Each structure stands twice: as structure tokens, then as C-alpha cells.
Structure 1
Amino acid sequence: MCVTATVEGSTTQYNLSGTGIMAPGWMGVGFGSQMADSPMVILWSNSDGTITLSQRQAPAEVMPTVVSNPPRTATLLNNVSTASGSSPQFVFSIPSESTVTVPTIWAFGSINPGSSSPSATLQMHLESIAANFDLSKDFNGTTGSTVAASSTALLPFQRLVIAHGILLTIGFLVFLPSGVLLARYLRTFSAKWFTGHWIVQVMISGPVIIIGFALGIRAVVETGAPPLSDNHMKWGVAIFVLYIFQCSLGAFIHWVKFDIRVMGRPPQNYFHALLGLFIIGIALYQVRTGYRSEWPKIGRGALGVSTDDVWYTWVVILPVFYIIGLAFLPKQLRQEKSQRKTKFHESREEVVLTDFETRSKE
């Protein structure tokens, strides 16, 4: 969407227009540097060709509600507005601010409210921007548009989303694979591999993942979106629960031993290994849905193709390093077999010695 503003005496005329790339469901501007507590003017077209103007406000990054007595009353200019087509134009006038530099936010929603009521329910915006309008400049060209957007700023909930994405990407796609590869490569060379493994998987990854998960929940609360309202949220909770379960299972396997063996080791060991690989694999998918599907929803536009390039590279690198580590598997199996034989002989010697001592006493 494009926003222009023209000062005409004691009023300012705002023109909100679509770019033709996507038909807008609604468009709006707010007077302030962030969504919270900023008076807003939101407009949308109706099926009968009319345009609804709704003045709203929100206490946080939630759906704004109608304000019965706004600080400045906006007036729809039907004679210069256009409701139809992929590039509609909504024009309204409002009493001018006392300053020439006006902090302004504007947003674009792709879903029409489906009602002409000013209090109709709005779906979350697809894009939003915060900038400063410099209304002191002279008319520019024939349109009289006098807008200067000095800079864009992140809204509070957008900062939460960014921190959430960064932390969980590092936690699930850097730290957890590092712990897996550490175990895969070092277990045949050092008996201390388990110490390094659990430190990376729990002590290092744990705080990063827990904080990132909490920030994701907070971001959902800030936006007012329903919990678990899409697949990314649902899978996010599922992966977090699986991570907690996997850590608990690893501790259980280490401290509780069973005599049941499958190919020389307890069956839960195989399950633990496969579950770890599954968590990393599904985390790769989750990160992709995050930056491709969720990120555009917060109003910062789609990320560049370089993000895809990094993701595809990581999808290749992680399996390659793990497969290379499998070259140490035969050595690991030989070591474990030798250890079992040693323990078996030590156990037999202990039994024989105990039997000999018992007979000697008799």
C-alpha cells in the first residue's frame, strides 16, 4: 500500500491506496510510533460499493476497537475515493497535528472484514510500517503529495518474534546438532563423551530453547492471535515437549539400566537416537515455516532468497556430517562388544571366586 498526506489549511488529507500487487482487505493509518495507544483510522470497501471508516485504538499489539470519541474526527471523502479493483483508494481528512513531523504507522490487511459496521472484526495485518511524516515540504508534482518516511522501526511484538526466531534457530539447528555430532564422533575416542553431550544438549541448549519458546508465546499474546491457531504454533509446542521428553529419556537411559538387549544394547537407546534425529529434522521444517509463512505476517515483508540458500545449505551439511560420523560405528560396536566380554569374564571370575571362598569355609 501507499500512503500520501497533504496539508490543506487546518486539515490534512490522507490517501491510502493499493499497489495492485494484492487486493487489500483493509488499510489503515495510526498516529504514533507504535500500535499501542495510537489513534487509528481504518478503512475497507463493502460489497455494495461503499467504504467504511472506523476510528479505533488498542492498548497493545491486539485488534484495535472502536473509539466513540476520538481525539480527532476523520471524515471520509467519497468523491475522491475508489472502492473497486485491486488498487482501491481510500481518502479521508482529519484536523491537522500541531507539529509538522508526525510519527505514523500504517498497516495493510488482506482479508476484508465482510461487514460495513465500523466495529467489525479485523484479521491481523499482513504488513505494517512505522515512519515519520514530514509535512513541512512543499507540494511535489501534480498530486500534491507531501510525505517523507524517514525510517522504519520495529514494533515491540516484532522484536519478540525476531528474538524468538533467532534463539530457537540457534538452539535447535546449531546447539542440538553439535551435541549429536559430539556424541557420534567422540564416543569411540573418549569415555567422557557423555559429559560433553549432556552439557551441550541440556546446559547450553536448554536455556536458549526455553527462552526462545517463552518469547514466542509472548509474541502471540502481544498480537492477540488465538493460541495454537496455525501449524507453526502447534508444531512449536510439540517440538518443545519432545525436547523436554528427550532430555528426560537421556537421563533415564544413563542412570537406569536394563538387562534386555537388542543387538547388544537396550531398545530405549535406539529410540533415544532416532528421536533426537527426528527432533532436528522437524526443527529444520519448523524454521522454514517460520521464516516463509510466519515472518511475512508480522508486516516486515518476505525475506530474501539468501535465507532459503542458508536453509538449503544447512539441510545438506547436517546429514553429511552425521553420515561421515557413522564411519566410526563399526569401531564403536567392536569396543562395546569387547567391553561386554570383559564384564562377562569379570563376572564369571567373581562368581568362581565367591564359590571357592564358600567351599573353603565349609
Structure 2
Amino acid sequence: MANTPMVIMWENSGKVVLSQRSAPGEVMPTVDSNPPRVATFAQSASSLAGDKSKFAFTIPSNSNTMQALIYAYGTDAPGSSAVDATLREHSDYGTLMLNLGGSNASDNVPLSTYERLIIAHAFFMVVGFLLLLPAGALVARYFRTFTPTWFKSHWIIQFLISGPIILTGIALGFASVWNMGGSHFSDWHMKFGAFIFALYLVQLALGAIIHFVKSANRVRRPPQNYLHAVLGLLIIGLATIQIHDGYSDEWEKTTGRNTLPNYVNTVFYVWIGVVTAAYFGGLALLPKQFRQENQPKRIPIRDHDDFYQGQNDSWVQR
């Protein structure tokens, strides 16, 4: 918020105080005696009702149809009615775009740089989390009982291909916030996205441990194998929630543009239905998988037999 004109309002002893301030950096803002636009308290649009109080103000407009705003709020008001009262740090903050041109005005406004970055961010996140990760899960579900190469295909999709795409999407998300002058992790969407990415890293580490750290004398499937499967499904499920929030709420909130067409919702839900049906359809192969895992290890009879079926692994390379 450095050098950004601020309008700060609070209530003290039944009186609403309006203070226009600015700050050179991450320090308490001080009163701006000559703000670029003078704000006026809008009493008719305000109300004092405890934790449901509303503060409103008016300010002269400029020629910009789309107004970029940074908002912040806190619950600890200054104990003074002076416009230069000492402020306490806010509880939370975020960014939004205010559309002043009517309900359809944003359709005719060219995409800004940060909006293009948001679109690119969304594209890479959808490809990574909604296309590639489910594809890798389906490879593991369908092919582990038929071919020893299933694991190689699985980790190539989940790590070598998905990893760079997801990291690119994250970088584009950071770039869009920086370009807009906003703050990182300032709303639920950003925080939830960071949580999902952390789970993805845990899942990669867990998959590596399962593959490379295993006992030769194990007689049953280790618990971490089940955890890996459940965590993978959880990540995909959480990612669908995150992606839906991104196009249905976050886009409109951060850009001020209209919501996306209804066909986007249709495509989204159809795809989720297809992936869900495909995965649960693959569960029909579980009996065959369990039979293979419960078979005693067999040593190949002929030299050209490159693989044998083994305990706990559907296929094990010699």
C-alpha cells in the first residue's frame, strides 16, 4: 500500500471518524493534508450496529471506468476521534476491481496485463490439477494389473509433466497479484491454493518413499500405500473446489468483470463427472490386483522372462 491514497474510517463514542492518509511503506499511515481526491462521509449509507456496522464515503470520480481498490479492516479501533489518532494493525486485507461503467461495461474494456496473467494462471492450474493429475491417477488405477510400465507412466505424468505446469501456474498467480499491486495470500482463494500445493508436495514425497523405501520381507500392503491413494484423491477433490471458486467468484471479485458464461459451468461439471465415473469404474480391477498381490513370488523359468508377479506389487521387475 506504499504511497497509495487511503480513506480510513472508524467509530468512537457514537461518532464516525474519516481520516485520509498515506504511507511510504509498511508503516502506520499518517494524515495526508492534501489528498488527490477528498472523501466525504456518507451518513445515509452508513449505520452503527456493533459488529454489523457499515461505514460509507463518497469521493470524486476520475475518468477510469475500472477502479483498482485495496481494502483492509480491523476490529480494534483507535480510542480517539482525532483524524491523526494512532492506528492499530488491520486484521485482514485484499484487492478488488470496481466496475463503474454499468453491468456490461466490463465486456468492452480490453484485458489488462494482470487480467491476462490471471487467465494464464487459471489455464495452467486447470491443465495441471484437473487434467494431468487425474490422468496419472487413472493410469495407476487401470494399468497396474496389466503392465509393469504403469509406475513409470504414473510418476512421469504426476511429477515430470504436472510439476513444471503447476509451478508455472503458481508463478503466474504471484505475478498477477504483484502486477495489480495487491498482497499475496490476502484472501481465501490464495491461502487455499497454497494449502493444496503443500499437499501436492507431500504426495510427491510420499510416492517416492513408497517406491524407493520398502522392506523385502513385507507380507502385506503398507499403510502408506493406502494413504498415498487417499491423499491423491483428496488433492484432486480440493483442486476442483479451488478451480470452481477461481472462475465463479475470484475472477469477478478481482477484476470487476462479469461472471463467466454458463457453459463454463457445464463443461466443468461434465468433466468432473467423466473423471469420477472413470476412476470408480477402474475399482472393478481391485479383485484382480489383490489376487496378484497375494500370490507367492515366482522366479522366472525362462531367461527371456523379464518380469514376475510378486507379493504386494502387481508387477516387479527382475
Deviation of the 1:149 alpha carbon: 9.2
Contact kept, 8 Å, 2:132 with 2:157, in 1: the verdict is yes
Contact kept, 8 Å, 1:55 with 1:66, in 2: the verdict is yes
Contact kept, 8 Å, 2:99 with 2:106, in 1: the verdict is no
The amino acid of 1:274's aligned partner reads: V
SS of residue matched to 1:106: strand
Q: Within 5 A, what are the aligned runs for 1:26-175? A: 84=44, 92=60, 105-106=66-67, 126-128=96-98, 151-175=108-132
Deviation of the 1:177 alpha carbon: 0.2
Determine the structure 1 residue equivalent to 2:53: none
1:134-187: per-residue Cα shift (whole Å, max 9, x none)? xxxxxxxxxxxxxx9994122332222222222112101100000110111112
The amino acid of 2:189's aligned partner reads: H
- If the length of structure 1 is used for normalisation, what is the TM-score? 0.58
Determine the structure 2 residue equivalent to 1:211: 168
Asked if 1:283 corresponds to 2:239, the answer is yes
Deviation of the 1:255 alpha carbon: 1.7
The amino acid of 1:160's aligned partner reads: L
Determine the structure 1 residue equivalent to 2:314: none
Contact kept, 8 Å, 1:44 with 1:112, in 2: the verdict is no
> Partners of 2:107 and 2:297 in 1: how far apart?
74
Distance 1:66 1:152, change over 3 A: farther
- If the length of structure 2 is used for normalisation, what is the TM-score? 0.65
Which blocks of at least 5 consecutive residues in structure 2 are unaligned? 47-55, 302-318
Give the number of equivalent residue pairs.
274
Asked if 1:236 corresponds to 2:193, the answer is yes
Distance 1:186 1:224, change over 3 A: same
The amino acid of 2:287's aligned partner reads: P
SS of residue matched to 1:248: helix
Distance 1:68 1:223, change over 3 A: farther
Contact kept, 8 Å, 2:177 with 2:184, in 1: the verdict is yes
Q: Pairwise CA RMSD of aligned residues? A: 4.6
> Partners of 1:268 and 1:150 in 2: how far apart?
50
1:333-360: per-residue Cα shift (whole Å, max 9, x none)? 223333x341599xxxxxxxxxxxxxxx
Determine the structure 1 residue equivalent to 2:248: 292
Distance 1:318 1:46, change over 3 A: same
The amino acid of 2:165's aligned partner reads: V
Distance 1:307 1:192, change over 3 A: same
1:81-111: per-residue Cα shift (whole Å, max 9, x none)? x97459x9968598xxxxxxx7764357899
SS of residue matched to 1:289: helix
Determine the structure 2 residue equivalent to 1:325: 282
Contact kept, 8 Å, 2:22 with 2:31, in 1: the verdict is yes
Contact kept, 8 Å, 2:19 with 2:83, in 1: the verdict is no
Deviation of the 1:230 alpha carbon: 3.0
The amino acid of 2:260's aligned partner reads: L
SS of residue matched to 2:67: strand
* Deviating more after overlay: 236-245 vs 220-229: 220-229
> Partners of 2:106 and 2:145 in 1: how far apart?
60
Asked if 1:337 corresponds to 2:294, the answer is yes
1:199-246: per-residue Cα shift (whole Å, max 9, x none)? 111111011111112222333344454443333222211211111121
Determine which of 136, 140, 163 is the counterpart of 1:179. 136
Contact kept, 8 Å, 1:246 with 1:275, in 2: the verdict is yes
Deviation of the 1:266 alpha carbon: 2.2
SS of residue matched to 1:303: coil
SS of residue matched to 1:302: coil
* Deviating more after overlay: 307-316 vs 120-129: 120-129
Asked if 1:268 corresponds to 2:224, the answer is yes
Query: Which protein has the larger Cα radius of gyration, Structure 1 or Structure 2?
Result: 1
Determine the structure 1 residue equivalent to 2:157: 200
The amino acid of 2:283's aligned partner reads: L
> Partners of 2:159 and 2:297 in 1: how far apart?
33
1:264-283: per-residue Cα shift (whole Å, max 9, x none)? x2222111111111111111
Asked if 1:309 corresponds to 2:266, the answer is yes
The amino acid of 1:106's aligned partner reads: Q
> Partners of 1:89 and 1:233 in 2: how far apart?
29
